[in-house]
Amino acid sequence: MHDIDEWPEESELVVCTVEDVKDFVAFVRLDEYASKKGLIHISEIATGWVKHIRDYVREGQKVVCKVLSVDPKRGHIDLSLKDVNDHQRREKIQEWKNEQKAEKWIGFVAKGTGADPQLIRDAFYSNFGLLYSAFEEIVTKGDAALKDLDFKTEVNEALKTVAQENVKIPKVTITGTLVLASTKPDGVNIIRRALRSAQPKVEEEVDIELVYLGAPNYRIKVTAPDYKMAEKTIDKASSAAIGVMERAGDTGKFVRKAKSA
């Protein structure tokens, strides 16, 4: 929840609750902005001609809108429902739900440690942008995510406990095949060295798995929090293995497989 004096920005996506529906306008409450109200004109309800506005919105409904204009002096916020596509709506609703969870977690920590919840919120917003993002960072980076926030030790420990118990970091997996062929008398040892080099030191949250598929093929599977990290790791691992083979005068290549979640 934003501070009471904050206003949304133009083009921002906001979660709203429909409070009143008239013939040509719907009045809504902006759930993320304390006490702020907005309106959706019938022309911004849906693409094409809208005969009955109640065919699209009703009192009590949660909707995601795009902010068209903001006038703090008059207290007016004009919104559009039609300018939000399905993907944007799903992502925004999920973000809003995550922020609600994070608010509760901060409440738990504050109650258990006596910390000021607003100080935690302010620090999280300043350093991570979103409350939920802060808890994700705490899960993946631990103390490193908290070192610059100046919280007391018991607050840091409580935040880590709450994060670890509640946040599940999504993982992605990418796979490929290392083709390692040797014609040397000690080819078995060369391939072993290549496979050992394909397991470099990586981040804690990254896993590398090598599986023998049958000469000369070896599956390499990398699991990481995101595709960028996974791609970087699999490239580093496969390049290291191929380098060992080539320096020994043998051959190696890497064949990528399609991405999978």
Which pLDDT tens digit goes with each residue over 97-149?
999 999 999 999 999 999 999 999 999 999 998 999 999 889 888 888 998 89
Q: Which domains does the chain have, with CATH numbers?
A: 12-83 (2.40.50.140), 88-166 (1.10.150.190), 172-256 (3.30.70.1130)
Interacting residues of 181 by C-beta distance below 8 A, sequence separation 6+ = 215, 216, 245, 250, 251, 252
Q: Residue 4's pLDDT is what?
A: 59
Neighbour order of strands in the sheet with 207-214 = 207-214, 217-224, 172-181, 251-256
Return the pLDDT at 2.
63
The pLDDT value recorded for residue 35 is 75
Q: How high is the pLDDT of residue 260? A: 43
What's the pLDDT score for residue 16? 95
At 50, is the secondary structure helix, strand, or coil?
A: coil
Q: Which two tokens stand for residue 259?
A: 């991405």
Q: What is the pLDDT of residue 205?
A: 75
pTM of the model: 0.63
User: Can you list the residues of the chain whose pLDDT is less than 50?
Assistant: 259-261
Q: Which region, left, alpha or beta, applies to residue 11 given φ > 0 means left and ψ of -120 to 50 means alpha? A: left
